[in-house]
Every structure is written in C-alpha cells, then in structure tokens.
Structure 1
Amino acid sequence: MVCVLPTVFAYLTIKLIQKYVPKHLLVLILGNGYVAAFLSVILSGTLLLILKTVFGDDANHIDIEGWTLGLIIIAFMEGSLSGMLLAIFLIYRPNWVSTYNEEAYMSR
C-alpha cells in the first residue's frame, strides 16, 4: 500500500495536468516533475496518517506536528529532485520521457 499510493496519486495528477492545463514545456517540467511528485507524497502521507490514526493502537502517541513537518520536507525534496531529473532527461534523452510528445510541446 505504501508503494502503490504515491504511484496512483502521481499518475492521476499527471493525467489531470495533461487534460486541463495547456501544453507547454515549462508546464510539463513543473507539472509532471514537481507538482505530481509533491502531491503524491503529501496525499499518500496524509492518507497513511489518517489510516494510522483510525486503525492504530497507539493513536494518542502520534506526533501530528512532526509528521506534518516531515511530510512537507520530504514532499519538497521529492518534487525538486523529480523536477530536476525530468528537466535533465528532457534535455539529453527526451525519448526516455513517456509523457513528452514533441509535436504537442515543440510545435511553435
């Protein structure tokens, strides 16, 4: 569950960005790289916190502030790294990026 949730949330975020946001290379890098990774960590971490609170035995001992701060820090780092790697891949190996369509993003 911990491995599947971020993947599902990132996939859904990428599909929403591709459907509702105009096609632009900056949107591809920021949306698919940074925002999708950031939201997948935040959403999956929040869902796991809720499940741990509801079904956990020691619900009184959960450090909500520490959990929230850790989620924000990890989400920021994950989004930054994913965005940078996507930008590098788009520069040097664009055929490795499955969401990149040259006709859609470089038609101008």
Structure 2
Amino acid sequence: MLLNLLVFFAVAYLAFDKSTLRLLMTEKNKQHLLFGYTALLTILWSIQASIYDGLEVHFLWMSACTLFLGPRLAIYAGFIATLINCMLGSYQWDNAYMQLICGVCIPALTTYLVYVISYHKLPRHFFIYVFICGFFAGALSICLKMLSISGILALTGQYSWELVFDNYLILLVLLAFPEALLNGMTMTIGIIYAPSWVRTFYDEQYLDDK
C-alpha cells in the first residue's frame, strides 16, 4: 500500500505542469477531451481477461490519448482511470503501482518519444504521422507494457518466468496488431474530422503542399 501511494504521488507530481493546468482551466475543449478520454479508458480497461493477479489482458489506447492530449494530460487521464478501476475491483490494489507505471507512464512516454523522433527525423507527412506515431507507437507501447509487467512480476518472485511467458507474453503477438490498428484508426478519424482536437498534429506541416 505504501509503495502504491509513493508511486501515485510521484507520478502526479512529475506530470504536473502549470502551463498545462492553465490551458486546461481556460479551454473547455481540453476539459471535455480529458474527461471524455478518462471515461473511455476506464471502460476499455475494465473489459479485460484476467489470467492471474497482475496479469490482466486488455487494450491500452494510450498512444492515441497521448497524441490527442499531450503526454502530461494523457498520464493524468490514465492516472484517474487506474484509480477508478482499482475502486471498481478491475485492478488489484496491490498491483496498482505496476499498472500505473507500465500501463500508463511507459506507453505515454514511449508514444511521445516516437512522435518527437519522427517529427525531427522523418518527413512531416500525414501517412508517416498516422503509421509511425499511431500504428507503430501503439504496437510498441503494448509490447513494452507487457514486457515490463512480466519483468517486475518475475523479478519480484510473484511468478516464474516460465509461467509468465507461457500464459501472458505468448499473447503479445495477438495483441500488438489490434492495438496498433485501434490507435492508428483513432488518429486517422481524429485528424479527418477534428484536427483541432489533436494536440500533436499541425495542418500546415503535415498536410499543406503534400
């Protein structure tokens, strides 16, 4: 319980930013996006298959959340969704810190890192943005999430490597493509119908003269 509290407070503190908070307070559009994404993540994460305690299988959708909201607000959306799912019993309180780090922070930061690298190193094109930042980052995020959870549980002695691999990591191949597709399709629809909602997408750089 103490570890959970320390991790939750640390994440909340490190993700806090005055300029982001000011933006959230002044723009209702950002508030609606944050609360909407929080509700959707809560519902999505509650639909899961629990193999063993701590080894829950579900889609993340954090890559699209990060691209829409930015990394800080995406982490807060995942933070709140994790808390709610713990209260509802979808997550075990004992493993809440692990879900927050591996299922929220790592995917959000990974997606933003992929976005930054692609922005500076690759041609700024609509399809590159969708496939690299949405599709590829989505697949990479769920892979890193499952690998990091497996490592923590195996290294702490909760489960053996054999059990984790045979019952959890083996599903990685089945989840990577659907997760990538979910995030890629979300970004495509978002850019087409509501580009102003996507914080990391700029029409003049990704669409003009392309």
Give the alignment's TM-score, normalised by structure 2: 0.47
User: In the alignment, what sits opposite 1:98?
Assistant: 199
How big is each residue's C-alpha offset from its partner over 1:55-93, in whole Å with a ceiling of 9 and x where there is no partner?
A: 123325524144233122222111101101111111111
Aligned in 2, Cα 1:60/1:47: closer, same or farther, shift over 3 Å? closer
Q: Tell me which amino acid in the other structure corresponds to 2:138.
A: A
User: In the alignment, what sits opposite 2:75?
Assistant: none
Q: Which has the higher contact order (CA 8 A, sep 6+)?
A: 1
1:64-83 equivalent positions in 2, closer than 5 A: 64-83=165-184
Where does structure 2 lack aligned partners over 5 or more consecutive residues? 1-100
Cα distance in 2 between the residues matched to 1:68 and 1:103: 41
Aligned mate of 2:133, from 12, 32, 44 = 32
1:86 to 2:86 alignment? no
Cα distance in 2 between the residues matched to 1:38 and 1:9: 11
Say if 2:143 and 2:176, in contact at 8 Å, map to a contact too. Answer: yes
RMSD across aligned positions (CA): 1.7
Moved over 6 A (4+): none
- How many corresponding residue pairs? 108
Give the alignment's TM-score, normalised by structure 1: 0.86
Aligned mate of 2:163, from 56, 62, 85 = 62
Greater shift, 12-21 or 22-31, is seen at 12-21
Cα distance in 1 between the residues matched to 2:204 and 2:146: 36
1:44-63 equivalent positions in 2, closer than 5 A: 44-59=145-160, 62-63=163-164
Q: Tell me which amino acid in the other structure corresponds to 1:78.
A: E
Say if 1:9 and 1:44, in contact at 8 Å, map to a contact too. Answer: no
Where does structure 1 lack aligned partners over 5 or more consecutive residues? none
Cα distance in 1 between the residues matched to 2:194 and 2:134: 15
Residue 103 of structure 1 aligns to a residue in which SS? helix
Q: Tell me which amino acid in the other structure corresponds to 1:19.
A: H
Say if 2:107 and 2:141, in contact at 8 Å, map to a contact too. Answer: yes
